[in-house]
Amino acid sequence: MSKPPLETDQPANAATQDSATRRRRDRDVRESEILEAAFSEFAAHGYAATRMEDVARRAGVAKGLPNFYFASKDALFKAVLRRLILPDWSALEARFGQSDRTTADLLREFVALIYERLVDNPRAHQLLRLLIAEGPRMPELTEFYYAEFIERAIALLGSLLGRGVERGEIRPGPYARYPQVIMAPALMAVLWNLLFATEHPLDCAGFLEAHLDLVLNGLAVP
């Protein structure tokens, strides 16, 4: 006589997995709420004057919860920068490294990304204003921004330019020593938005096209 099939704990396992999924989702939501609140506090009061308890109050969470997710105010500020400004460089580097598209196409995508993240992003303007104002007193903040954004952007841009020269798609030139010169118009647009946007708004889409026209024609092989 055959034995009855053994009962499994599949329903229990499914319930456990569902519970874990809900906890992860709740954690992600709370973390996002804390980062949004932190951005508002940093933008309104600056880095030095922002307190973790004020972030918690604005987020509507327990006083100690921001410290549970982020070890310090410095870690919280870095997380805000990563969430709101910094691209996913690893994914971008991998995609560009595997692509067989023309260098002009990749440069166009790269420059457009910088405009999206930096030039045409009011939140980025507020955080950059904070870095400019408080950076001299807190150089670790500007050094973090340099390492996470400027340095990686220059490295990726330099690799794109070197690729273009190797493929005969762009001309070699002294810009290779200072690839950041390619992004100079974008920095001009950022400064314009920081200083003059209220009374003299910049057409960022038109400025981007002018930037690309200048760069791509300047790099073109004669």
Ranking 44-58, 85-99, 147-161 by mean pLDDT, the lowest is 85-99
Which CA distances in Å does 75 have to 78, 189, 192?
Answer: 5, 29, 30
pLDDT at 10: 63
Q: Rounded to whole angstroms, how far apart are CA atoms 55 and 61?
A: 9
Quick check: helix, strand or coil at residue 205? helix
Does 11 score more than 90 pLDDT?
A: no
Does 28 score more than 90 pLDDT?
A: no
Q: Rounded to whole angstroms, how far apart are CA atoms 141 and 81?
A: 10
- As a whole number, the mean pLDDT across the chain is 89
The two tokens of residue 194 are 């920081």
Kindly report the pTM of this predicted structure. 0.81
Domains in the chain, ordered, with CATH?
Answer: 10-72 (1.10.10.60), 85-219 (1.10.357.10)
